[in-house]
Each structure stands twice: as structure tokens, then as C-alpha cells.
Amino acid sequence: MSHPAPPVAQRFRSFGKSIFAEMTAMATAHNAVNLSQGFPDFDGPDIARLAAIDAINKGHSQYAPMTGVPVLRQAIARAWARAGRPTIDPDAHITVTAGCSEAIGAALMGLLDPGDEVIIFEPYFDFYTAGAAMAGAVAKPVTLHSPDAAHPHDFWFDEAALRAAFTPRTRAIMVNTPHNPTGKVYSRAELELIAALCQQHNVTAISDEVYEQLTFNPAKPHISLATLPGMWERTITLSSLGKTFSLTGWKVGWSIAPPALTACVRAAHQFMVFSGSTPMQHGAAAVLDAGDAYCETLRRLFASNRDILSATLTRCGLTVYPSDSTYFLMADHSALGIGTDRAFCEHLTKVVGVAAIPPSVFYLTPGLGTNLVRFAFCKREETMREACRRLEAGLLKN
């Protein structure tokens, strides 16, 4: 007797296939320049690679401690303090995870019970809603609107909408600054409002700060939410190695939180992966202490790439929104009349030869994001120039 194949569990059914897997596969199939999934097309610093190889050669091949190898947690504490933030304790406050992605899941699953509400700004990195679904929690969106005449430089949210999103069931808010996919850096005033609401409603903040080193505008510095008055006790800060040092495939991330919130993260983390890869943690420790000059070079490259890409997209008739950070920018493609974001990205990948991300998958509110497209600019300058050449050839009306 044949049985029907089991369906995907309900909690994942609405998510379909990850847009990053889908668009990278489409880019590969059509030989497109891949500006969709965000990863550099060059290697991270030698010091990281050599230290990881050395760790393998020295036999660091068994499980790391559940909380992470001590040398890495100490290096994370030093990096946190170097950025002017209060001293933290590597044992009590830091947990190393398998990339920030696992940290997002561990924080949401370790903190939330079924039916709890978590506020998520949209557009969002898709792991947030998937993580909420894994926890059985309810995601409540607050929209970041595109820049307009009143907010010419920034994606922005309505204060009343944020206030209204807090209910007696709200247990957490996901903050992501600097913000993927918009390139927004949350201002101190915005973070202060979030902090005040968290304290008023006894809500925990989960602050994903993986792009903390990739800011391009001195007038918009990165501020860690946990450093605001009253927020250390109620914030889980997440970060990682991948974006800062062009090592996205190493999957080394971490959480920083006071002991009670660290206990929540570790409760989930120990049963998700138990510990991250040991040699990569040794490589991560070496580069965290020595990589500041690398970050400076990276910031210069990415800011220049952003400018080259923005100018090309503008010439091609898109409305490009400012990006002060991360390695993404958003643009409005609707003037080109090619259809939805999905139709536009498919045309771009298959006909023009440049892959990008359709951002409607990053919204909970139906219909939002269909006029937008997200481009990654974390590539070698030659790669960006080739992408721009193809965009002009394929999109410029003559």
C-alpha cells in the first residue's frame, strides 16, 4: 500500500523555499552576476584562515564547550569593549553559536512560549519570522516605510504604529541595526523610543547587530541598543564574524546578554547544535583581535561599490534609496513597468544577467515590497562593474 508523502510541518508551510537559496540557484543557472544573497566574492583576512588551519593541525577537532571556546569569548569581550561599550564577562554573558542565524533561533526559542507576541520591523531578515514560527510565537509587524519628502534620507516608522504594536502578550521585539535589507542605521532617538516602550511593557529586545562594523556615514554611527539606560538587563545582542570579516561560510556567531537572558539562549542552543565548529572558533578569535585595519578597507570598498551601483541604477530609471550601512541597498523599480518584484528579479536574472532579491518576502503585510528590489554590493570592484555594464545594457532605454 502506498502512502502520500508527509507534508512539511505546518509551522514551516507558509515560508516555502528560502529566497536566498532560490535566487542564488537562479543566478547560477543563468550565469548571472549574483547580487542577491549577501556574501562577498573574495576571501577574508589571511590571519583568520591561517589560525583556523593551525587549530586543525594542532588537533582542535573535538567538541567546543557548549558556550564557545574561551579564547574566542575573551576576544568577543575585548571587541565589545573596544567599541566603547561597558566591560562584559565572557563566561556569564557570551554564548558562541553556529552563525548569527542560530543565535536568532536560540534567542527566540529560548525566550518565547506558544502564543507570545514578538514585534518585528518589516522588511526583515526572513529568519526572524521563521524563528518566531518555530517558537510558536505570533509575529506582529511594524512597517519601515520608504524614504519620502518628509523623511528624505531614511526608511522610517510611525511612532503610533510602534506604540500600538505593544500588547499585554508582547514578550519580545526584534531590532536589527544596521538594518538588512534597507541599509538603515537606527538613530539614538529611535532606539530611545524602543527602549522606553520595552521598559514600560516589560519586553525583552533581541538586537541583531551583525552589520555593526559596516557603516559608511560618520553622521549615522552604530549604537548598540544594550548600551542605552535600562537596556542591558533586557537586551540580547547578537552579532557574528561573517559580515565583518567576509567569512559568511564559517558560521561563527554569538549572543551577548545578562545571565538570565543568556540562560534562555543557552537553554535552546545546547539542544540545537550544542556547540559551533571548534577550529573556526580559534580562527575567529585570531581575527577579532587583529582585524580592525581589514574592516576599514572593507568599508571603503563597499561605500565605493554602493556609489557605483546607485549611479547606474539611477541612470537606468530606478529610484535608489540611500544606504548608510550593511552591504545592501533598496531601490524602487516600478517606473520600469516590468511588474512585481518577483517578475522584475526574474527578468533581471534571466535576461539582464544580474540577480537581486525580491523583497516582498520580507514583509508580513500583504502587498508591501512589490515595488522594491534589494541589491548586495559586497563584491570585488570588477564584479560590480560587470554587473553595472549588464544593467545598463539590459535596462537603459535608448
- Binding site residues, ligand GLN, CB under 6 A: 20, 37-38, 125, 180
**Longest CA span, the chain:** 68
Residue 94 β-bridge partners: 256
CB of 127 to ligand GLN, least distance (A): 7
CB of 90 to ligand GLN, least distance (A): 26
**Nearest residue by C-beta to ligand GLN?**
38
Question: Which CB, 228 or 313, lies closer to ligand GLN?
Answer: 313
Residues 75, 239: Cα–Cα separation, whole Å: 13
Alpha carbon of 283 to those of 39, 79, 255, 287: distances in Å?
Answer: 19, 15, 18, 6
CB of 3 to ligand GLN, least distance (A): 33
CB of 325 to ligand GLN, least distance (A): 13
CB of 15 to ligand GLN, least distance (A): 12
Question: Which CB, 37 or 235, lies closer to ligand GLN?
Answer: 37
Cis peptide bond N-terminal to 147, omega within 30: no
Question: Which CB, 180 or 360, lies closer to ligand GLN?
Answer: 180
Question: Which CB, 37 or 262, lies closer to ligand GLN?
Answer: 37
CB of 374 to ligand GLN, least distance (A): 8
CB of 229 to ligand GLN, least distance (A): 31
Residue pair 11/109 in contact (Cβ under 8 Å)? The answer is: no
- Give me the sign of the Cα torsion angle 226, 232, 236, 238: positive
Residues 285, 79: Cα–Cα separation, whole Å: 10
Give the DSSP letter of residue 156: B
Residues 392, 389: Cα–Cα separation, whole Å: 5
Question: DSSP letters of 353-397?
Answer: SEE-B-GGGG-SSTTTTTTEEEEE--S-HHHHHHHHHHHHHHH--
CB of 382 to ligand GLN, least distance (A): 21
Question: Which CB, 90 or 141, lies closer to ligand GLN?
Answer: 141
Name residue, grid cell 544596521.
178
CB of 10 to ligand GLN, least distance (A): 22
Alpha carbon of 140 to those of 17, 109, 162: distances in Å?
Answer: 22, 16, 10
Question: Which CB, 180 or 305, lies closer to ligand GLN?
Answer: 180
Question: Which CB, 67 or 182, lies closer to ligand GLN?
Answer: 182
Side by side, which strands form the sheet with 319-320? 319-320, 328-332, 372-376
Name residue, grid cell 510541518.
9
Residues 218, 6: Cα–Cα separation, whole Å: 53
Question: Which CB, 37 or 143, lies closer to ligand GLN?
Answer: 37
CB of 180 to ligand GLN, least distance (A): 5
Question: Which CB, 268 or 356, lies closer to ligand GLN?
Answer: 356
Residue pair 143/368 in contact (Cβ under 8 Å)? The answer is: yes
- Would you tell me the crossing angle of helices 292-315 and 381-395 to the nearest 10 degrees? 10
Question: Which CB, 125 or 216, lies closer to ligand GLN?
Answer: 125
Query: Which grid cell sits at 8?
Result: 512539511
Query: Which grid cell sits at 44?
Result: 577574508
